[in-house]
Amino acid sequence: MWAYTLRRLLYGVPILLGVSIIVFALVQMAPGDAASLLIPPEASKEVADQIRAKLGLDKPVYVQYVLWLGRLVRGDLGASTVTNMPVAGELFNALGNTLMLAIPAAIVGFTLGVCLGALAAFNRGRILDRVFSATAITGVSLPHYWVGIVLVVVFAVVLNAVPAQGMGPAGFPHTWAQFRHMILPVITLSLIPMGVVSRLVRANVLEILSQEFVGSLRAKGLLKQQVLRHVLKNAAPSVLALMGLQFGYLLGGSILVETVFNWPGSGGLLNLAIFRRDIPVLSGTIVAIATIFVLINIAVDVLQALIDPRIRR
Amino acid sequence: MRPFRISVKCRRSVLLSASLIASVFLACEASPARAGGTLRIAMTAADVPTTTGMPNNGFEGMRFLGYPIFEGLILWDLTRSDVPAGLRPGLAEKWVQDKADPTRWTFTLRRGVKFHDGSDFNADAVVWNLERFFNPQAKQFETQGAGISRARNPWLKAWRKIDDFTVEMSTNRPVSYFPYVVVYLLIASPAQFDKTGSWAEVAKAPAGTGPFKITEVKPRVSVELSRNAAYWDRTKIAKLDKIVLFPMPESTTRLAALRSGQVDWIEVPPPDAVPSLKQAGFEIVTGVYPHVWPWVFNMARPDSPWRDVKVRQAANYCVDRDGLVKLLNGLAYPSVGFFPKTNPAFGKPKNVYAFDPAKARALLKEAGFHPDRPVKAKIMISTSGSGQMLPLPMNEFLQQSMRPCGFDITFEVVEWGAMLVALRNPPTAQQSLNSDAMNISLVSSDASRMAGLFLGSSLPPNGTNWGNWKNETFDGAFARIERSSDPREIDEQLRRAHEQLVDDPPWLWIVHDGNPRAMTKHVKGFANAQSWFQDLTLIDMN
pLDDT in tens, A190-232: 999 999 999 999 999 999 888 888 888 888 888 878 888 888 8
Spatial distance between the Cα atoms of B316 and B307, rounded to a whole number of angstroms? 14
Instruction: Test B246 with A166 for CB contact under 8 angstroms.
Output: yes
Q: B19 or B511, which is more confident?
A: B511
Our CA-based measurement puts residue A159 at a distance from the nearest CA of chain B, in whole angstroms, of 9
Instruction: Test B420 with A36 for CB contact under 8 angstroms.
Output: yes
Angle, alpha carbons B459-B462-B466 (nearest 5°):
35
Our CA-based measurement puts residue A36 at a distance from the nearest CA of chain B, in whole angstroms, of 6
Q: Nearest 5°: phi and psi at B216?
A: -155, 135
Has residue B31 got a pLDDT over 70? no
Q: Which amino acid is at A201?
A: V
Q: Give B-chain residues touching A268 at CB under 8 angstroms.
A: 46, 220
Q: For residues B382-389, give the mean pLDDT.
A: 88
Q: Give B-chain residues touching A32 at CB under 8 angstroms.
A: 417-418, 420-421
Q: What ipTM was predicted for this assembly?
A: 0.88
pLDDT band at A17 (very low <50, low <70, confident <90, very high): confident
Spatial distance between the Cα atoms of B218 and B449, rounded to a whole number of angstroms? 34
Give the per-residue pLDDT at A51.
87
Which candidate from A30, A38, A42 shows the least CB-CB separation from B144? Answer: A38
Query: What distance separates the 2 farthest-apart alpha carbons in chain B?
Result: 119
Chain centroid to CA B285: how far?
Answer: 16
pLDDT band at B59 (very low <50, low <70, confident <90, very high): very high
Give the per-residue pLDDT at A105.
95
Determine the residue among A262, A269, A279 to mutate to test chain B binding: the one whose Cβ has the most chain B Cβ atoms within 10 Å: A262
Instruction: Test A93 with B148 for CB contact under 8 angstroms.
Output: no
What are B160's strand-pairing partners? B168
Residues A134-174: tens digit of each pLDDT: 988 888 899 988 999 999 999 999 999 999 999 988 888 89
Which candidate from B50, B146, B152 shows the least CB-CB separation from A83? Answer: B50
Has residue A178 got a pLDDT over 80? yes
| B245 SS3 class | strand
Give the per-residue pLDDT at B22.
42
- Any residues with CB less than 8 A from the CB of B211 and at least 6 apart, and which? B68, B227, B228, B231, B233, B236, B237, B238, B536, B537
Residues B445-460: tens digit of each pLDDT: 999 999 999 999 999 8
Q: For residues B192-212, give the mean pLDDT.
A: 94
Q: For residues B278-284, give the mean pLDDT.
A: 96
Instruction: Test B248 with A262 for CB contact under 8 angstroms.
Output: yes
pLDDT band at B16 (very low <50, low <70, confident <90, very high): very low
Q: For residues B418-423, give the mean pLDDT.
A: 90
Q: B277 or A16, which is more confident?
A: B277
Has residue B29 got a pLDDT over 50? no
Name the closest residue on chain B to residue A148, using Cα atoms: B253
Q: Is residue B82 within 8 Å of residue B256, measured between CB atoms? A: no
Q: For residues A238-263, give the mean pLDDT.
A: 88
Q: Give B-chain residues touching A46 at CB under 8 angstroms.
A: 461-462
Chain centroid to CA A162: how far?
Answer: 24
Q: What is the residue-wise DSSP string for B520-534?
A: -TTEE-----BSSS-
Q: Give A-chain residues touching B431 at CB under 8 angstroms.
A: 31
Q: What is the Cβ-side half-sphere exposure of residue B106, based on CA atoms within 13 angstroms?
A: 11
Residues B60-74: tens digit of each pLDDT: 999 999 999 999 999
Q: For residues B282-307, give the mean pLDDT.
A: 94
- Of chain A, the percentage scoring pLDDT greater than 90 comes to 36
Q: What is the residue-wise DSSP string for B296-322?
A: EE---STT-GGGSHHHHHHHHHT--HH
Give the per-residue pLDDT at B25.
38
Give the per-residue pLDDT at B193.
94
Give the per-residue pLDDT at B44.
94
pLDDT band at B6 (very low <50, low <70, confident <90, very high): very low
Spatial distance between the Cα atoms of B20 and B161, rounded to a whole number of angstroms? 55
Q: For residues B408-412, give the mean pLDDT.
A: 97
Give the per-residue pLDDT at A140.
87
Give the per-residue pLDDT at A311.
64
Q: For residues B337-348, give the mean pLDDT.
A: 95
Has residue B24 got a pLDDT over 60? no
Give the per-residue pLDDT at A196.
93
| Most confident of the ranges A232-246, A253-267, A286-300, B261-275 | B261-275
- Any residues with CB less than 8 A from the CB of A2 and at least 6 apart, and which? none
Q: Where are the alpha helices (DSSP H) in B229-356?
A: 251-259, 274-279, 309-317, 321-327
Our CA-based measurement puts residue B218 at a distance from the nearest CA of chain A, in whole angstroms, of 9
Has residue B371 got a pLDDT over 70? yes
Has residue B23 got a pLDDT over 80? no
pLDDT band at B369 (very low <50, low <70, confident <90, very high): very high
List, as own/partner pairs, every contact residues A4-13 make where C-beta atoms lie below 8 angstroms and the sequence separation is at least 24, other chains included. A4/A301, A4/A302, A4/A305, A4/A312, A5/A298, A5/A302, A8/A298, A8/A301, A9/A298, A12/A291, A12/A294, A12/A295, A12/A298
Residue B265 Cα distances to B245, B246, B256, B271, B529, angstroms: 10, 10, 12, 15, 16
Instruction: Test B257 with A86 for CB contact under 8 angstroms.
Output: no
Give the per-residue pLDDT at B54.
95
Give the per-residue pLDDT at A234.
83
Residues A55-108: tens digit of each pLDDT: 888 888 889 889 888 888 888 888 998 888 899 999 999 999 999 999 999 999
Has residue B28 got a pLDDT over 70? no
Instruction: Test A51 with B146 for CB contact under 8 angstroms.
Output: yes
Has residue A305 got a pLDDT over 60? yes
Chain centroid to CA B539: how far?
Answer: 19
Mean pLDDT over all residues of chain B?
92
Q: Is residue A259 within 8 Å of residue B253, measured between CB atoms? A: yes
Q: Where are the alpha helices (DSSP H) in B123-198?
A: 123-134, 143-152, 179-182, 190-196
Instruction: With residue B20 as reference, give the H or E element that holds it.
Output: helix B8-29
Give the per-residue pLDDT at B463.
86
Q: For residues B113-121, give the mean pLDDT.
A: 97
Give the per-residue pLDDT at B35.
56
Eight-class DSSP state of B336: S
Spatial distance between the Cα atoms of A234 and A232, rounded to a whole number of angstroms? 5
Instruction: Test B148 with A160 for CB contact under 8 angstroms.
Output: no
Determine the residue among B252, B435, B532 to mutate to test chain A binding: the one whose Cβ has the most chain A Cβ atoms within 10 Å: B252
Least confident of A10-14, B129-133, B377-381: A10-14
The 3-state secondary structure of chain A reads CHHHHHHHHHHHHHHHHHHHHHHHHHHHHCCCCHHHHHCCCCCCHHHHHHHHHHCCCCCCHHHHHHHHHHHHHCCCCCECCCCCCEHHHHHHHHHHHHHHHHHHHHHHHHHHHHHHHHHHHHCCCCHHHHHHHHHHHHHHHCCHHHHHHHHHHHHHHHCCCCCCCCCCCCCCCCCHHHHHHHHHHHHHHHHHHHHHHHHHHHHHHHHHHCCHHHHHHHHCCCCHHHHHHHHHHHHHHHHHHHHHHHHHHHHHCCHHHHHHHCCCCHHHHHHHHHHHCCHHHHHHHHHHHHHHHHHHHHHHHHHHHHHCHHHHC
Has residue B9 got a pLDDT over 70? no
Our CA-based measurement puts residue B181 at a distance from the nearest CA of chain A, in whole angstroms, of 12
